Structure 1
């Protein structure tokens, strides 16, 4: 991809235009990280770029952005520009094509305002980005208040960059983030969601969580998290403290690489505890039904943030069933096998593990389920059914939905190891007095 970007730069230069690598790819190069993509900034106008390359796509002609396709690689080529006012808090009302130096001044953070000449292997720095990279500091370019007023999403982007890069946020930049946090409400849910995903999927997710809390941004994106503060829990099961402390601790105990449903289920598994908090006649704290209500709340929260259904649904399953683990040692084999056969099972087990580690530390049920997984590994968890609906009809049942209940009971007996053949299944039905009357 770098080679393609260099070829584009060289062609632009041969045509008399200035052209440089810009933004994140320069930052990542200096940090020794592999850039995800390479953006080119140039003095050429969009029309001039389009005239030079055979395969282009105008994706933001108003903003001077053209996608150039070369060797099946897509490279974003943007004209140097200065921006007009940002009335919608996202995009400038107008742009003026300008110089590299002026273009750098319009960008968000100094570490993203760098250019690189890849041919001469030279860094062009108009904003002090190199020094900030060396100091591992995230600093807004120019006046922080102005940068965040232009595009409110930069508030979350600051947290994301500080999280994934492990940088400190410069004092004036941080002050402006805290001041502008309430204005994040003007940003679309989709853009907020995308930044949250990058924060919470990163191994340094706890830092991101804390920055969201300390800045006031959590109140704007997941206000339900703040309600967890001060919600007491039974000390014999939760010596670590309240629900907020428990949730934060669980987040810190996750492995580096996790699925999105897992990290979201950690954040939201106890989200209904404030609403279900009661104290019984013995003085014991209870949260009856918080798992079921929590699953409903999880769906509402994630739909509000425009998560796709294929993320929402497995997250809800994990939240809804996270309390079932306390009973696994008393479950029949059939119940355990059905539980373990769910596609969400690996994440459910991982959620249970950090739930235990983030509270009383007891992993006996987790170890029990790991042992069961090994025990059941020699054959399919859910084998081929011994009987089907046609078999039941031939045995005298009338067609109807009730056949499903009978087949489930037969399969439970199969999963429990009580029956292993179709013949045994028929005999079991007779012995269980489940056969229809003649």
Structure 2
């Protein structure tokens, strides 16, 4: 199967070979079998598919019988979906789904029933034309019942059939349409765009976990500026984040788009940090209150603790860096010793063109990285709690305050040995009691 321009072909790697063997085995047993969906789309675009889906007229029980129970996992048997495992354990599982037509959707996500059917009917129940094609890997022939090949050539994301009805079936398709259009630099078909605008308020019917996963995939891709603009144009951005300025204030979105475009590292945490920092930067609250608000937004999105911590850390440290170029080493070193510091530098770089303070902060961080070794960034503490106990300090507020003070002076290179640290502790104690 070649690309649209005929310049590329799908590499015959192990994943492709395993997917081909699944088709061949089903064919040998007398069943129709084709590659389906995203793998066909990507291959036609000259992109090596990361996984393969197979569509067949074999019912799920026949798929299990043919490949054996030890090599199959029914992940949606009622919908005719079975995962087939590679016996050599070198390739990822291949999803085998029986051709089907869907019944009525009542929960905005799944049909209440399915009926096993033909390839034509199976194609008609899929989301977008570019995802509705099949490919016969034995005859090397594209099978297209929905006009997906033409839309792929014209670089259009179009819902199959009636756009409003198709997006109503599963409201998450609104976000998926934007992600596909942005990722491949395609346009949204007019009817599909209008349907998203009409249905945008209903995105809230989708579980926040599914929404968050789509946004992660958008923001972790270099096409994130296009995704942002499409989210704004369709009205989804203000539905998902109600505190985003309304459409008459496009400066917010255009400023954020510029920053998204400059990000080098494709990490969704950095993009979300920019978004949330934008939301609260003019709210008049101090940093601590802003971080509490950001953490609350992360919890609403059901982000993990690590994601929430990273987003908050980026906002906090970038705010600290904006104070100027006179940050002492005890502030700089822990930031640079943190494994997330490349994300912080990336975030600050994204703001360089608009904010001189960010440019200075970024230069300071980069220069400091060149100046200090890893050991200098995070040296072993000169004293610990046991040292303080021997000096007669009981655990309590003073205990932690003294440890923090000694650590600051160590990082600022004012003291360098345990004996100097011990002498400094005695000075601090004398000053506190004098």
Question: Taking structure 1 as the reference length, what is the TM-score of the superposition?
Answer: 0.89
Which residue in the other structure is 1:217 paired with?
236
C-alpha distance in 2 between matches for 1:389 and 1:183: 56
Which residue in the other structure is 1:384 paired with?
380
Which residue in the other structure is 2:177 paired with?
158
Structure 1 residues 33, 195: CA separation in 2 closer, same or farther (over 3 Å shift)? Answer: same
Aligned residue among 146, 150, 153 for 1:131 = 150
Which residue in the other structure is 1:282 paired with?
none
Aligned residue among 322, 335, 340 for 2:318 = 322
Aligned residues: 415
Which residue in the other structure is 1:280 paired with?
none
Question: SS at 1:59's partner residue?
Answer: strand
Which residue in the other structure is 1:412 paired with?
408
Aligned residue among 273, 276, 279 for 1:265 = 273
Which residue in the other structure is 2:260 paired with?
251
Structure 1 residues 176, 220: CA separation in 2 closer, same or farther (over 3 Å shift)? Answer: same
Which residue in the other structure is 1:186 paired with?
205
Paired residues for 1:265-414 under 5 Å: 265-276=273-284, 289=286, 291-360=287-356, 363-377=359-373, 379-414=375-410
Q: Establish whether residue 96 from structure 1 lines up as the match of residue 105 from structure 2.
A: no
Q: Establish whether residue 205 from structure 1 lines up as the match of residue 214 from structure 2.
A: no
Aligned residue among 131, 137, 145 for 1:112 = 131
How far has the Cα of 1:349 moved from its partner? 2.5
C-alpha distance in 2 between matches for 1:334 and 1:360: 23
Q: Deviations over 1:392-429 (max 9, x none)?
A: 22233334442221122122222222221122222333
Question: Taking structure 2 as the reference length, what is the TM-score of the superposition?
Answer: 0.90
Q: Establish whether residue 69 from structure 1 lines up as the match of residue 85 from structure 2.
A: yes
Maintained 8 Å contact 1:160/1:199? yes
How far has the Cα of 1:30 moved from its partner? 0.6
Q: Establish whether residue 10 from structure 1 lines up as the match of residue 24 from structure 2.
A: yes
Q: Deviations over 1:268-301 (max 9, x none)?
A: 113223532xxxxxxxxxxx52x33332222111
Maintained 8 Å contact 1:268/1:294? no
Question: SS at 1:70's partner residue?
Answer: coil
Gaps of 5+ in 1: 231-240, 277-287
Which residue in the other structure is 2:3 paired with?
none
Q: Establish whether residue 53 from structure 1 lines up as the match of residue 72 from structure 2.
A: no
Question: SS at 2:110's partner residue?
Answer: coil
How far has the Cα of 1:147 moved from its partner? 0.7
Maintained 8 Å contact 1:229/1:244? no
Moved more, 76-85 or 350-359: 350-359
Maintained 8 Å contact 1:229/1:245? no
C-alpha distance in 2 between matches for 1:328 and 1:275: 21
Moved more, 330-339 or 295-304: 330-339
Question: SS at 1:357's partner residue?
Answer: coil
Question: SS at 2:142's partner residue?
Answer: strand
Structure 1 residues 103, 412: CA separation in 2 closer, same or farther (over 3 Å shift)? Answer: same
Maintained 8 Å contact 1:353/1:363? yes
Structure 1 residues 243, 155: CA separation in 2 closer, same or farther (over 3 Å shift)? Answer: closer
Structure 1 residues 318, 229: CA separation in 2 closer, same or farther (over 3 Å shift)? Answer: farther
Structure 1 residues 312, 431: CA separation in 2 closer, same or farther (over 3 Å shift)? Answer: closer
Q: Deviations over 1:53-72 (max 9, x none)?
A: 11211111111111111322
Q: Establish whether residue 33 from structure 1 lines up as the match of residue 47 from structure 2.
A: yes
Maintained 8 Å contact 1:318/1:348? yes
Maintained 8 Å contact 2:222/2:261? no
C-alpha distance in 2 between matches for 1:432 and 1:24: 66
How far has the Cα of 1:228 moved from its partner? 9.9
Q: Deviations over 1:292-335 (max 9, x none)?
A: 33322221112112111111111011112322113353332222
Moved more, 171-180 or 114-123: 171-180
Structure 1 residues 245, 32: CA separation in 2 closer, same or farther (over 3 Å shift)? Answer: closer
C-alpha distance in 1 between matches for 2:416 and 2:283: 46
